[in-house]
């Protein structure tokens, strides 16, 4: 299978490319020189979609590109960077689908569970209504609307992604230092739900979605068991053989992160109903098993 991947050097893209070496991959990257260090010569690298006239040479497209959403405070400038890094590439891909005589059979396009907004303890499946309520919902809704424009040409899958647990980076690695020092604790009241997924299950889901024709439109790419922040904190601390005794008050978190604190304070109890009904099997369905696996595979400097 010939696959075009945007965001190929990111957390998920890199893991996917490394694991599924049997595929013929073309990866879009901002730095070809850096990507050449990461990938074997069999991976073709491009630094712009403008070099493509259409997508006829590909069987599938996986669109994972996007500025990290929590690395910086959300100034108006940063909001534009976050938005346009997702919207522009997605629109370019849709335009290439429209120009193709033989378009790829599937378009897996990024989104996030932030599309659901702050929903308390309501169980959220793909059929739940979504609406614009804040910046994350606005970003995701527009992102999905753009990707859906490719539906006349291909099967479109919207990857509503939760917190990806990986030893290579992402949210979990950022959380480890305070827990190592026994300074970790719940955030706010700890009752907000966190929907997560082990990176291995995520890339396996991508591979599954490439050929599972029964799945299209929104797909929640999360583990079956969402947990409260309080429980997540307890399981993480126990997995590290540490204590979690210092909660971070809501107001402190809002002061430190500003508007982006909603990513840690909002509650989304998401279940992967579409994946489960279709028969997808999770290797790490429980948080404990996922954290134990990730922690044992941390690079030495993180462990």
Q: What's the rounded Cα separation, in Å, for the pair 248 and 188?
A: 6
- CATH code assigned at 125: 3.40.50.720
DSSP-assigned beta bridge partners for residue 197: 164
The answer to the question of residue 49 being in a domain is: yes
C-alpha pair distances (Å), 14 with each of 17, 43, 141, 274 = 5, 11, 26, 25
Is 236 inside any structural domain? Answer: yes
- Structural domain count, the chain: 1
In terms of Cα–Cα distance, which of 130, 133, 203 is closest to 161? 203
Domain assignment present for residue 274? The answer is yes
Task: Look up the pTM and report it.
Answer: 0.94
Q: Where are the alpha helices (DSSP H) in the chain?
A: 11-19, 32-38, 76-98, 135-148, 171-180, 199-211, 229-239, 250-257, 262-265, 273-278, 287-296
Does any domain span residue 156? yes
**pLDDT by residue (tens digit) across 133-162?**
999 999 999 999 999 999 999 999 999 999
% of the chain beyond a pLDDT of 90:
84
Is 67 inside a domain boundary? yes
pLDDT digits (tens, 9 = 90+) for 109-125: 999 999 999 999 999 99
Residue 58 lies in a domain: yes
The answer to whether residue 301 sits within a structural domain is no
| Domain membership of residue 174 as a residue range | 2-296
Contact 17, 37 (CB under 8 A): no
Domain assignment of residue 302, yes or no: no
Model confidence at 71, pLDDT cuts 50, 70, 90, reads confident
């Amino acid at each position: 299978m010939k696959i075009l991947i945007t965001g190929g050097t990111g957390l998920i893209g890199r893991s996917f490319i490394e694991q599924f070496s049997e595929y013929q991959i073309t990866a879009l990257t901002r730095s070809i020189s850096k990507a050449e260090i990461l990938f074997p010569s069999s991976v073709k690298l491009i630094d712009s979609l403008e070099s493509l006239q259409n997508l006829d040479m590909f069987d599938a497209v996986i669109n994972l590109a996007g500025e990290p959403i929590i690395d910086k405070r959300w100034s108006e400038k940063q909001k534009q960077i976050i938005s346009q890094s997702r919207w522009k590439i997605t629109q370019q891909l849709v335009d290439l689908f429209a120009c193709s005589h033989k378009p790829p059979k599937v378009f897996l396009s990024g989104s996030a569970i932030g599309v659901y907004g702050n929903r308390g303890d309501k169980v959220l499946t793909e059929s739940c209504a979504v609406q614009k309520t804040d910046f994350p919902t606005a970003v995701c809704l527009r992102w999905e609307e753009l990707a859906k424009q490719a539906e006349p040409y291909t099967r479109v899958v919207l990857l509503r992604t939760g917190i990806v647990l990986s030893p290579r980076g992402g949210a979990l690695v950022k959380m480890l230092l305070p827990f190592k020092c026994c300074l970790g604790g719940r955030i706010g009241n700890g009752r907000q739900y966190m929907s997560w997924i082990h990176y291995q299950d995520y890339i396996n889901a991508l591979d599954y979605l490439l050929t599972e024709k029964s799945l299209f439109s929104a797909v929640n790419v999360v583990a079956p068991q969402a947990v409260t922040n309080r429980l997540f904190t307890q399981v993480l601390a126990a997995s590290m053989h540490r204590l979690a005794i210092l909660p971070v008050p809501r107001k402190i978190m809002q002061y430190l992160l500003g508007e982006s604190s909603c990513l840690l304070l909002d509650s989304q109890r998401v279940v992967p109903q579409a994946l489960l009904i279709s028969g997808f099997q999770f290797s790490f369905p429980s948080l404990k098993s996922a954290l134990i696996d990730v922690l044992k595979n941390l690079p030495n400097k993180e462990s």
